[in-house]
Structure formats: C-alpha cells, structure tokens
Amino acid sequence: MTIRNVRDHGQRFRPRMACLKKVESVMLEMQDPKTGVKSQPQRLVITTIPHAITGEDIVAWLTNCYSIEAEEAWALGTMLVAFGYIYPLQDHKRLVIKPDASLYRFQTPYFWPAQQWPVEDTDYAIYLAKRNIRKKGTLELYEQVQYNSLHKWMNHKWDFIVMQAKEQYRAGKERKKPDRVVFDCQERAYWVVHRPPPGTVSAMDYGLERMVDPNTEEKQTSDFFRRIMIFTQQSIMRPRVKSSVSIGALVKYSVTYNKHDPFLAPCLPSNPWVTDDVTYWLLNMANVEIPTKMRVERWTFSFGELLSDPRGRDDFRLFLKKEFSGENLAFWEACEDLKWGTAATMNDKAQQVYKTFLTRGAPRWINIDGKTMEVTVKGLKHPHRYVLDAAQTHIFMLMKKDSFGRYLKSPVFKDTQKRAICPDQHMFSVSQLEANARKRRPSISPIIVRQLEQEEKARMATSGPVDITQVMSKLSNKGKEVAPSKK
C-alpha cells in the first residue's frame, strides 16, 4: 500500500548521501574507550544515566583528532547534531553544539538517518499517538497540526496506528526506569531531526529523488557499454575553451556577484528563510515604488539583469519613453510574450506583432537589418513559438549596445539610484525569532498576482505608447491622417 511496495515507475529513490557513511565512521571512532570522547554520568532526580558527553569535550576531541581549528570543529559538531547522530539533552529543539558544559548523548543506531530508508509518516503518526497517550492530549501546536493532518490522510490505517501506539507504549513500560528515560529522549530527538518544529533548521534536505536506485550495481550488459561509448564520443566532440578563459569568466562572475549572494553576504534587512521576517521580500517586490540599493546595483551588471528584473524594466521603459524609442523594448516584450504564451493565442500574437512592428509603414516600426527581416517575414507565414527569435536577438543587442549605456548615464537612472533605500540589518533576539515563526502567514495568492499583472498590462496599453506616425505628424505639421493610437 505504501509507494515502496507498488511497482510504479516514478522517481522515488533517494540520492546517495555519502556524508552519512563518513559521519558514521566518525561516530565509531568517538566510541573508543581509550581514544574516544570522555563520558560522564548524567544526574537526574531519581537516577543516574551514564554516557553523557559535554559539548566542549566533543569540540576538543574533533580539534585534536582531525587537527583543525576550533571554529571548524564547532561547525563539524553542529553537523553531527543536525544529522541526528548526537542529540542535546537540554534545549532539545536547537540542533547545535554549544562548546560549553551542556550535555549530549549518542543516538542509537536504529535512529540513525539512512539513505535507503525514508522516514515514514506512519511511524510519525504512531509516535504522535504515543505521545498523546502519554501526555493526555497536551501536544505542542505544530504537533497538533501534524496529528490532525495525519488523522485525515491516514484514516484508513488509523486503527492500526492507535493499536500499535498503545502496544509500543506498553512494551516501553517493560523496561527499567533509566532505560525508559533514555529511550524517550532518543525517540524525541529522532523526530526533532526528521520532523523539525518551526524555528529548527533542518539538515535533512537531500534534493531531488532519482529514477534509479543508486545502491544497486548496474549490470554490465552490451547496452551499458554502448551508452558509455556514446558518452565518450560526445565528450571528445565537444567544443573546448582554454581553462584560463573559463576560469577568468568564473572569477569575474564571483567578484561581481559576491555581495549579492545570500550565502556569502547577509541579506538586508534579514534573510526571510532564517528569521521568518518577510521585509526583504516586500521591499523587493515587482511593482515597488522605490527599489533597494542592491537591486539597483544589480541592474548595472548587465543588460540581461536589467531586463529580467520587472522594476528595472519599468525604469528602462520610462527612460525610453523620454527618448521616444520605446518600440524596441515593446517589440522585445512582444517576442517574450509569444515565446511564453499559450499555443492557442500564438497565431494572433504573431500577426499582431507583424502588423505593429515589422510591416512597412507600421506604427511602431523597428529597425532591423534586411536579412533578419527577410528570414522573419518568411517564418511568419507559418508562425511558431520561436519564429521571432532572430529579430529579438538583434533588437536585444541593439538596445544593449546603444540604449543601455545611455540609460546608465541618464537622469532617470541617476534619480532612481539616489532614491534607492538601504535598509538596516535586523537584530532579532531568540524570543523574537520564535514570535516571527509563529506569525508566519502565506503570501498573496498567485491568482491575485496574475490578475494584478494583467490589469497593469491593460492599463499600460490604454495609456498608449506614442505612435511614430503621430510624432511625425506633430513634428512636420503636415495634414497627414493620423493612425489611431493603440488601445
């Protein structure tokens, strides 16, 4: 009934997590009675439980064993805790190593994370039911939410879950008191790792699932060798670039984007994924009036960056409007619309583009060279999604070489740059972080966002780009008949 036993062809194999094997060998070294970590008994109210280890001992052992700095040992220790191989005895929801006298204990191998066994929801349901029995209904808020959701989705198994929870509870009572405490701690730590409470950072992200089981050895049939041959042939035929060139490009990219990478430099005001505070996203929305300094700086990196940011594109459009050369951008946007639009509207869109931009005497005629124009017009006889690609690339390069430079020196851009804001970094205390986690709300629905976008587009269309014929008639003051402006 679970997916594991049904022969489907979906992607359900977890990728090999090589780090787990390495962590396990570290764990085993730590057990050694002579060269491992020193353990001490933990004194509780009525009993003593052996094999507790302090955070500072762990960090010191790692520093000695691997000849690394204390900071790196601390990071390594935190990783051991985050994966669930060691669990903290106090403050069990924060999976970090505190390099002081706080106590930790080793997790039993049954509860170690394994690559081939994903953690089942059935087991979590049994655990929650067991906890419910023990605590007579006072579970934490996130546990209650999970319980209700599992009760709904696993309703057909629920009787078994409750039965098994009761039996496990009774079986657990057969053990001696200190062992029961240890087991409860172990189980609780296991579920903190694999079903983290809000505010706990989880280390269990493993990326996409795979089609083939990475643990099975592939049989070396003739098919296998044929694939290897094709792969090698293609590798030989690939075009090459000197490593100095490619590395230079990589270095240039890294240097340029260094301060903009949220892993390497702090997000201002704060990274919403870490602090649960969404100011960063609100300040960087598509239709915001005043952009942030970092965003404006990003526009100067390349023309592609400017165009792909909707706020940047708006700014650029404003600049082009002042220069009366908005038709290039309008054409580029129409091409994008064609590429990404629905198949049903493609024909109409293509015809519209032709009438507006390409034909002789069109209201917003763009200036592309003869050969491209010929190719495009021929393609438009049987329009498809990418028929305007050549023209679009040409216009893109035109804008990049010509308008972009002028834009960066223009008063429009300089004004935007001056007004751009630079928010201060948030400094949240731990209780504020918890409050943030509780106040999380979903963002506005994408349906509403799409409606707003379409209204915006309609409004822009009515406010009317200036037709070239209108401009010409105004300038030359001839009695030409004015083509109706686009509605």
Phi/psi of residue 316, nearest 5 degrees: -65, -40
**Interface with another protein by CB under 8 A: which range of 180-188, 293-301, 309-317, 325-333?**
180-188
What are the residues whose beta carbons fall under 8 Å from the beta carbon of 193, sequence distance 6 or more?
82, 83, 84, 87, 95, 113, 202, 203, 204
Q: Which of 162, 204, 408, 466 binds another protein (CB under 8 A)?
A: 162
Q: Which of 106, 280, 357, 407 binds another protein (CB under 8 A)?
A: 106
Decide if residue 233 touches another protein (CB under 8 A): no
The residue (of 182 and 306) whose beta carbon lies closer to another protein is 182
Decide if residue 198 touches another protein (CB under 8 A): no
**Interface with another protein by CB under 8 A: which range of 135-143, 299-307, 367-375, 420-428?**
135-143
Decide if residue 199 touches another protein (CB under 8 A): no
Decide if residue 213 touches another protein (CB under 8 A): no
120, 192, 188: which is closest to 154 by C-alpha?
A: 120
Phi/psi of residue 98, nearest 5 degrees: -105, 115
Buried b (16+ CB within 10 A) or exposed e, 39-61: beebeeeeeebeebbbbebbbbb
- Can you tell me whether residue 49 is helix, strand or coil? strand
On whether the CB atoms of residues 438 and 198 are closer than 8 A, the answer is yes
Q: Which of 12, 16, 151, 260 binds another protein (CB under 8 A)?
A: 151
For the CB of residue 180, give the shortest distance to another protein in the complex, in Å: 7
Q: Using CA atoms, how far apart are residues 449 and 444, in angstroms rounded to an integer?
A: 7
List, in sequence order, the alpha helices (H) in 402-445: 404-409, 411-419, 430-438
Decide if residue 437 touches another protein (CB under 8 A): no
184, 189, 194: which is closest to 87 by C-alpha?
A: 189
Decide if residue 115 touches another protein (CB under 8 A): no
What mask, x for binding another protein by CB under 8 A, covers residues 39 to 58? x--xxxxxx-xxxx------
Q: Using CA atoms, how far apart are residues 344 and 128, in angstroms rounded to an integer?
A: 50
Decide if residue 433 touches another protein (CB under 8 A): no
Decide if residue 278 touches another protein (CB under 8 A): no
Q: Which of 64, 108, 254, 451 binds another protein (CB under 8 A)?
A: 108
Site for another protein in 8-37 (CB under 8 A): 27-28, 31-33
For the CB of residue 147, give the shortest distance to another protein in the complex, in Å: 7
The residue (of 91 and 261) whose beta carbon lies closer to another protein is 91
Decide if residue 124 touches another protein (CB under 8 A): no
What are the residues whose beta carbons fall under 8 Å from the beta carbon of 80, sequence distance 6 or more?
23, 26, 27, 58, 86, 97
Decide if residue 430 touches another protein (CB under 8 A): yes
Q: How many CB atoms lie within 10 A of CB 180?
A: 13
Site for another protein in 73-102 (CB under 8 A): 89-91
